[in-house]
Amino acid sequence: MDIVLDKSTATEGQIKITLKEKDYQPKVEEKVKDYSKKATIKGFRPGKVPPGLIRKLYGKSILVEEINEILSKSITEYIKENKIKLIGEPLPNHDKTATIDWDNQKEFEFEYEIGLVSEFDLNLAQKIKAYEIQADKKTIDTTLESIKKQYGNYSEPDEVQEGDDLMGELTQESSGYKEEIWITANQIKPKEAKKFIGLKKEDIIEIDPKKIFVDDATASTILRKSDEEIKKFKGLFTFKINKINRVENAEINQELFDKVFGKDAVKSEEEFMSKLKETLEKNYNQEAKTFTQKLIQDKILDSTKIEVPDAFYKKWILASNKDKITEETLDKDFENYIKELKWSLVVNKVAEENDIKVEHPDVVASAKEMIMAQFASYGMTDNMSENLDSFAENYLQGNDGQNYMNTFNKVRNDKIMDFIYEKVDISFKKVKPDEFSKIVSN
């Protein structure tokens, strides 16, 4: 058997395999004998089927099966022994295979197209401008109001007061419009909201749906119509109030502290507000960290020349995702595929050159941390430590092992990004949440 790597470029090549009769025939004969012992054919006792008959009936399929096994094993070993770094997997030349005469040929040639990882220099010493988010009074107050409402008491009064939510029937006979809609207090312009105060269930009020809501997107969502359809509305609509929903905000006391952060986690309003600010900033800065990672990724990729086999990679993606992706769809998003590929090459190079590895205890620890965070969000942290090991084990074994792989990849990515963070020069600018939102959206 001969195996040869023919590189056409730094990132593309072919692996050519030539099989001679001596390479496969002993295995074929062995399988023929095995078949003759196991085959059940009318007119022959079990285990007494002549090998010649087996060759006549199954010879070609046995030959194809054996050669495929030899090819799979040989190409895998060749790639491993020669430390060939591949992009994707080898793609067989089906056109060449289709010309094989399995009945008469004794010698066979096979070709596999491959994509290769090119050598590239990596400079992590990049300067990055990132952001640290500080929760301002407006954000804290808005969040506090939301929390008080979330944990408040709900009632259904007979008369509308400021801040009430309404459900009712919106109708216009001339246009044929008739929908039951739900309107929350913050979806109506303050001036329009005042018109509802004092109304009772079953009361009817005339409104203009083009003027009452805070913005076009809100109007479109509530009315279940597009912006263009709403613009065509003419005249007033009638709104019949069927239900009034009121939330009496929760009081700021120990009961609320325990519901939000867990029993006795905080014991005073001062501690509660401090913990709220700390939690808000932690959550916002997790978003900021994700954004910073994107900035780092873009900066490194922009300054690193990496050659990739575009044509092969596209072909491999299509072959690996038959019936899941079309060539047209792939063409539209191919730039992102290439970007992800290049970044994966950067990440792998960083891990390899700096011996960054993930051990099983790392994966278990990450699973435990995730589970604890989930339970904490529901205020269920009491006695968690007693069952945490079994929870983590069950989670990692679930989803046919995919949970383990997802956690493993997350830990690996975090370790590599932590290493990259140490190498890049990051200067932080402190901003408010609203400012950060504008930065991200631009």
Give the range of the structural domain holding residue 402, as residue numbers without chain letter.
Answer: 268-441
Cα(77)–Cα(68) distance, rounded to whole angstroms? 14
Of the candidates 39, 27, 107, which has an alpha carbon nearest to the alpha carbon of residue 66?
27
pTM of the predicted protein model = 0.74
The CATH number of the domain holding residue 172 is 3.10.50
Tens of pLDDT, residue by residue, the chain (442 residues): 999 999 999 999 999 999 999 999 999 999 988 888 888 788 887 777 888 888 888 889 999 999 999 999 999 999 999 999 999 999 999 999 999 999 899 999 999 999 999 899 999 999 999 999 999 999 999 999 999 988 999 999 999 999 899 999 999 998 899 999 999 988 999 999 999 999 999 999 999 999 999 998 899 999 999 988 988 899 999 999 999 999 999 999 999 999 898 888 899 999 999 999 999 999 999 999 999 999 999 999 999 999 999 999 999 999 999 888 999 999 999 999 999 999 999 999 999 999 999 999 999 999 999 988 887 666 555 556 667 888 899 999 999 989 999 999 999 999 999 999 999 999 999 999 999 999 998 7
Indicate whether 287 and 407 sit together in one domain: yes
CA R_g for the chain: 34
Residue at 88 is within a domain: yes
What's the sign of the alpha-carbon dihedral 429, 434, 435, 441?
positive
- Residue 390 within a domain: yes
Regarding whether 398 and 307 lie in a shared domain, the answer is: yes
Residue 437 lies in a domain: yes
Do residue 429 and residue 297 come from a single domain?
Answer: yes
Sign of the CA dihedral with 167 first, then 173, 178, and 184 last? negative
**Which residue type does 39 have?**
A
Q: Are residues 12 and 80 in the same domain?
A: yes
- What's the CA gap between 119 and 348, in Å, rounded? 12
Residue 244 near residue 164 (C-beta atoms within 8 A)? yes
The Cα 410–Cα 383 span in angstroms is 27
